Structure 1
Amino acid sequence: MKTHLLAVILLVGFGPSFYDGYGSVYAWYTSSQTGCGKRQWPEWSIQSNILGGEPVQSNKKWPWIVYIHDTKRFCGASIINANWILTAAHCVENVKPTDKPFFAYAALTDLRYASIRREVSKIVIHPDNQSTRNADIALLKLKTALPMSDSIRPICYSDFYPDSSTECYSIGWGITSNGGDFVKVLHEVRISLWDDSRCKKYVGPMMKSTMMCTADARRNICSGDSGGPLMCFNRKQSQWTVIGIASFGSPCGKPYMVGVFTRVASYVDWITQTINYDP
């Protein structure tokens, strides 16, 4: 079968203008994960279609989403506990919070309105992240703990891996059409998981076992969605779990779009050890 090599586009948002460059968890760790993945929102199938997605109207719907940015770029992130958030390593490469303030915004869906702002005090990038997209994962410690509420809650991380019938969503503030602008209101998209062999055929040799991919007709992650969660509802545990972190993908607007995510399950020990070492 012919191998389709994926033209890679990074998904980080760069300022207000369009960026056209090539640009799940061992046991449930109760020490940092108590009450994770729960929300004050009806757990039914939304069947919504970030490219091809729909706007999110309430900050209670996905209470673990965080918006992070400096003067040059922005990304999504996920709340792991009151002090730590999870994002993609390429979102924070060369960012030094000791030199220049770097902020995270929680309880947020619409960027035009006020939210809970916290300064980032420490950035920990996985040591295996070098010049490739491998280990595209980072943890950010907040200077001041987030106040937990209906609109600010942690998401679970585990070795849970869903089957094809499981509800899985990605969310972000990226563009929603090819050549379009970044959105001001958080968008969600329900997307389909692909098995590793199928991912490898489309992504090519850069596809690693620590990655996973999704694909659907004209709906997936796109520019500006980097760092945001790929999350699935674990019906057995009745909780939402982050299984992936938006990393890169095919150019937006193609008939069949492939999004590549860091596989969170590959880094459970590292996440737990990092946040437990410096709680």
Structure 2
Amino acid sequence: MGVKNRVPSMLYQILLPALLMVYEVPEGCATIHFWGSGGSTEFEKTTASIPSESPRPPEQQAQGCGKSMVQQRRMIVGGESAELGAWPWLAALGVNVPNVTFDLSCGGSLISSRHVITARHCLHKRYISVRLGDLNLDPNAEDGASPVDYMIEESIVHPENDIAILRLQKDVTFTNLIQPICLPSAHEMKDNTWVGYEPVVAGWGVTDRSRSSDFGRDQMLRHVKVPVWDNEKCKAVYSGISSKFLINETVLCAGYEKGGKDSCQGDSGGPLMIPYGKNSSYYLIGVVSFGRGCARPNVPGAYMRVSKFLDWIEKVTK
């Protein structure tokens, strides 16, 4: 098997002073909306023109969403490497430099043929593309993956919380290795606290919690199960650390009391997911947001609780 074929990216940059964030956008991108506390801001780039497609609401592939290509009993979930096709909705946000390892900034989850959900704080980093269908970010890895890079047409950030939606420049072509994850829209899922459950978090982030750079990062996609905490218990932990950490109904906390297994730098924006229903389809219940270090004892990771943002997601993806 040869070197993976990757779609090249191009760098274009704009500065958004109001939010003190730098965004990189594709050439010819018509309009980008930044939904912040000051309302919607629009930037138009007219150096090139590209055919624009009519806005369309999120749509799942006909046969459904949240379908892993790997049987659950075969998964090794404990901070180990994932298998190809295990999480076909996993997105890597970053810059693709030809013949160099993908420069990862954050993770994300494909929720439709045109939209990726991630963390708002990821958008201060410089990236221009969303990679789907990858397993090992090393361009020389012979892992069977055929990743595709998609340019970002529009970025929409929540005005108050650490969650954002990326609209891609063109529709995603679904394959066995690129599929959307389900949203927790059912009534019983909206009200579920998930306390007592052990959902899965996955990403390409730092694997050595003593490091915060690429030196501690494995290019392989990894996954781990983490138990969900009661929010009051989580709030007590974080209030004792710093007043800047806000734990409320929009936050879901998960992690081991003994530490050792957690999401970390580079995993931000990635999915916290759980199999649910008779078909055990995977649902996105959390977006990796913040924590105090990585995998520390008695300090869970904090995730944006997706069920609290379903109305907002529906509104901004129409």
TM range (shorter): 0.7 to 0.9
SS at match of 1:199: helix
* Residue 185 of structure 1, CA deviation: 0.6
Q: Are the aligned partners of 2:196 and 2:229 in contact in 1 as well (CA < 8 Å)?
A: no
Q: Residue in 2 aligned with 1:65?
A: 90
User: Normalising to structure 1: TM-score of the pair?
Assistant: 0.76
* Residue 163 of structure 1, CA deviation: 4.3
Q: Residue in 1 aligned with 2:250?
A: 210
Question: For residues 69-108 of structure 1, what are the structure 2 equivalents within 5 Å?
Answer: 69-70=94-95, 74-93=105-124, 102-108=128-134
Specify every segment of 5 or more residues in structure 1 that has no aligned partner in the other structure, as ranges. Answer: 1-29, 96-100, 129-134
Q: In structure 2, which of residues 154, 158, 178 is the aligned counterpart of residue 126 of structure 1?
A: 158
SS at match of 2:307: helix
RMSD of the alignment, in Å? 2.3
Question: For residues 47-196 of structure 1, what are the structure 2 equivalents within 5 Å?
Answer: 48-49=77-78, 53-58=79-84, 60-70=85-95, 74-93=105-124, 102-113=128-139, 115-128=147-160, 135-159=161-185, 160=189, 161=192, 163-164=194-195, 166-180=197-211, 181-196=216-231
Rg (Cα) greater in structure: 2
Q: Are the aligned partners of 2:69 and 2:87 in contact in 1 as well (CA < 8 Å)?
A: no
In structure 2, how many angstroms separate the alpha carbons of the residues matched to 1:220 and 1:68? 20
SS at match of 1:230: strand
In structure 1, how many angstroms separate the alpha carbons of the residues matched to 2:263 and 2:235? 18
In structure 2, how many angstroms separate the alpha carbons of the residues matched to 1:245 and 1:151? 21
* Residue 148 of structure 1, CA deviation: 0.5
Q: In structure 2, which of residues 65, 68, 79 is the aligned counterpart of residue 39 of structure 1?
A: 68
SS at match of 1:78: strand
Specify every segment of 5 or more residues in structure 2 that has no aligned partner in the other structure, as ranges. Answer: 1-56, 97-102, 140-145
CA change 1:61–1:47 in 2 (3 A) is closer
Q: Are the aligned partners of 1:220 and 1:257 in contact in 2 as well (CA < 8 Å)?
A: no
In structure 2, how many angstroms separate the alpha carbons of the residues matched to 1:46 and 1:235? 19
Q: Provide, for residues 64-116 of structure 1, a one-character-per-residue CA deviation record: whole Å limited to 9, x for no partner.
A: 00000149861000001111000000001376xxxxx7100000110013511
User: What percentage of aligned pairs have identical amino acids?
Assistant: 29
* Residue 271 of structure 1, CA deviation: 0.6
Q: Are the aligned partners of 2:58 and 2:113 in contact in 1 as well (CA < 8 Å)?
A: no
Q: Provide, for residues 184-235 of structure 1, a one-character-per-residue CA deviation record: whole Å limited to 9, x for no partner.
A: 0111011100111111111225212111111212111111110000001113
Partner amino acid, structure 1, of 2:73: W
Q: In structure 2, which of residues 262, 276, 297 is the aligned counterpart of residue 255 of structure 1?
A: 297
Moved more, 157-166 or 184-193: 157-166
Q: Provide the aligned length of Structure 1 versus Structure 2.
A: 232
Q: Provide, for residues 109-151 of structure 1, a one-character-per-residue CA deviation record: whole Å limited to 9, x for no partner.
A: 10013511110111000122xxxxxx10000011111111110
Q: Residue in 1 aligned with 2:12?
A: none
